[in-house]
Structures are given as structure tokens and as C-alpha cells.
Amino acid sequence: MELLPCLKEYRRGGDALDRPAHEALIAEQTEHINNSGSISYDGQSPDGKHAWSTYISAQHISRNSYYGGGMDPNAYGKTKDFTGVAGAQYSYKFSRLLFMPSQLTIGMEYNYDKLHDISLGYNYQTNQSVHIVGAYLQNEWKNAHWSLLAGVRMDKHNLISRAIFSPRVNIRYSPFRDLGFRLIYAGGFRAPQAFEEDLHILMVGGERTRILLADNLKEERSHSFSLSGDWYHSFGTLQLNLMAEGFLTLLKDTYALRKTGQMADDGMSTITERYNGPGAKVFGATLEGKLSIGSNMSLQAGIKNIFNSYQKDFDQGELRDSGYIYGPSLPRSIVIGTGLKF
């Protein structure tokens, strides 16, 4: 059982920092109060073949905020967010399943999120409840040379009409102890939601915006592939490690925002629609090396993002989606370093 202390955080940006936020020409101010806690239980059978765990956690966040400019007294807001997670997992070790030893893992998880956001001066509020029921199954076969993990996760999101299946495959082959190759595929998704942090930015200056989900809006899907190889070898007191990795990420039905030109029921707010945009892809490669000299010194060097790949469709402007980020976070980079222990 873990009960975390109440965390308080205050942030302020802009000008006139010694004055109230609404007396500044531009200001962003947030004050958070975060309470959270968790309980878990783990156990296993005497022979180690059976293992199980259960867990539950909760977090409540209360936030007072100000996003505004031009000494706008109406840009204050309040947000309350409650998140709860509960789940259970069971695993069993087979001495042999089909062709080699393996471990089977099954589990279930429930996620709940309740958010209430109010823009006080603009008389605008958002109520959003999210329920996600998930279940997963995976099996990992492993021996001295091979490792094969195959699994699938099913999620039912209350904002999506159908269940979503996300597969996962991980294959590792080691022809001998010092060399290994790994191939990974993983699927994922992002569910639609009406509330985004950028909603506050849209309201700066008094513009009232209501975000609605388009009819037949699909989940945003991702498909990630990676291939890597690593080599370890010792030369007396020297230990050398070389690693190369390449990856490819494909996104389908990415989310985007567009103005509809329509007014909301209150007659004062414009409607912005979240819809499925075109897909995207990004690929890259990394090469790294490390040389350990005894136990007191190491040298390392590498090239990250060799092809200088980057996200070519960054969202910009007032309708940008702050969550639409993928691919390498840095351009092509050469890294050289050393470590010493005394």
C-alpha cells in the first residue's frame, strides 16, 4: 500500500510576475493540488510456476489556472480530474509448450477518468467521462538462442463503438552468447476526446470555442516496427558493446481540428470539429558503441537519427493538437562521452 503525500505546484509565466495574472499583458498561471494512492498484492506458488498480482490506484487533481492576455479578467479557470485504475494479472510457467519452455500471462484492467473543466469568465465548461475495459493475453517462449513473445490486448473505450485489438510480437535470436538480433512489432491506439489543454489557448482574448467529435470518428492507430542488433565482447579487461537499431512508425486516421463556421447552442461559442486526418510515417536509425576499460573508465560514441528523419506534419496555429507528436525528438546527433569512477 502506498499513499503519496499531497503535492502542490505553482507555475507562472509572462510579464508583471509581481502582479495578479489578469493585470499582466500576457500570463499563464497554474496551481495544482495532487492527491494519489495505490494498493497492490503479489504472490506466487511454492514451486514458482504460478504467479499473480492485483492492484488499484487513484489520483485526484485540482487545478486553478489563468491563460490570457491584454489584462483579461475573464481568463481564469478551474479543473478537477479524478483517475482510477484497477487490474489483476496471472502467469504460469510451462516446462514445455509446443516447442520450448514458455510463460503464459493473462490479465484484465479497468481505467476510469472523470474531468470537469470550467472557464469562469467565459461561462464555458466541459464534462468528460472515460471508461476503458481492457484484457490481454501473451505467451513468451525462451531458450538459450531464441525468444519469441506474441500477445494481443483488447480495449473497449466508451467513446468508440467497437472493441480495439492491439497485437504485439517480439522475436530475439542469439546465434551465440555475445551477439543478439531483435525484431519487434507493436500496435497501439489513441482514443478521441473533446477536452485538450490547447482548449484554454483557444479562449485567450475572449474567443469561445466548443470542440465536438465528428460523426463516425475512428480511433488513431499506430504500427511500430524496429530491428536491432547488439554485440558484446571482452578483450581481457576491455569490454566492447556495439548496437545498431532501425525503426519505422506508421500512423493511420490521425486526429486534426477544423473550424465549422457553425455556432453552438449557447449562441456565443463557435464549433471546432475533431476529425480523422491523413496518416503519417517516420523512420530512423541509431548506431552506438561503448568501450569499458576495467571498472573505472568508459568511452562511448554514437550517431542518433542517422537519416535525420523528423515529423513533417507538425500541427501549428491556433488549432494545433499538442498530443500529435511522434518520431525522433532530436535531429541527427553525434554523441561522444566518457565516464570515470574514483
| Confidence class for position 244, pLDDT limits 50, 70, 90 | very high
pLDDT tens sequence across 102-137: 999 999 999 999 989 887 776 777 788 899 999 999
Report the pLDDT averaged over residues 31-57. 94
| Cβ 217 vs Cβ 194: under 8 Å | no
pLDDT of residue 202: 54
Task: Give pTM, 2 decimals.
Answer: 0.76
Residue 323 has pLDDT above 70, yes or no: no
To the nearest whole percent, how much of the chain has pLDDT over 90? Answer: 46
Residue 181 has pLDDT above 90, yes or no: yes
Report the pLDDT averaged over residues 15-37. 90
pLDDT of residue 61: 92
Distance, in Å, from the CA atom of 199 to the CA atom of 67, rounded to the nearest integer, reads 10
pLDDT tens sequence across 69-115: 788 888 888 999 999 999 999 999 999 898 899 999 999 999 999 98
pLDDT tens sequence across 189-210: 888 775 555 455 455 555 567 7
To the nearest whole percent, how much of the chain has pLDDT over 70? Answer: 87
Distance, in Å, from the CA atom of 174 to the CA atom of 114, rounded to the nearest integer, reads 47
Distance, in Å, from the CA atom of 127 to the CA atom of 132, rounded to the nearest integer, reads 17
**Cα 267 to chain center, whole Å?**
37
Chain-wide mean pLDDT for the chain? Answer: 86
Of the chain, the end-to-end C-alpha distance in Å amounts to 39
Q: Regarding predicted confidence, which is higher, 235 or 314? A: 235
Distance, in Å, from the CA atom of 272 to the CA atom of 294, rounded to the nearest integer, reads 61
| Cβ 235 vs Cβ 264: under 8 Å | no
| Cβ 12 vs Cβ 24: under 8 Å | no
Task: Detail the DSSP E strand segments found in the chain.
Answer: 2-14, 26-44, 50-69, 76-97, 100-119, 124-142, 146-157, 164-176, 179-190, 209-213, 220-235, 238-252, 255-263, 270-276, 280-293, 297-304, 333-340
Q: Regarding predicted confidence, which is higher, 314 or 46? A: 46
| Cβ 338 vs Cβ 301: under 8 Å | no
| Cβ 321 vs Cβ 257: under 8 Å | yes
Q: Does domain 2-340 have CATH number 2.40.170.20?
A: yes
pLDDT of residue 271: 78
What's the one-letter identity of residue 180? G
Report the pLDDT averaged over residues 242-255. 90
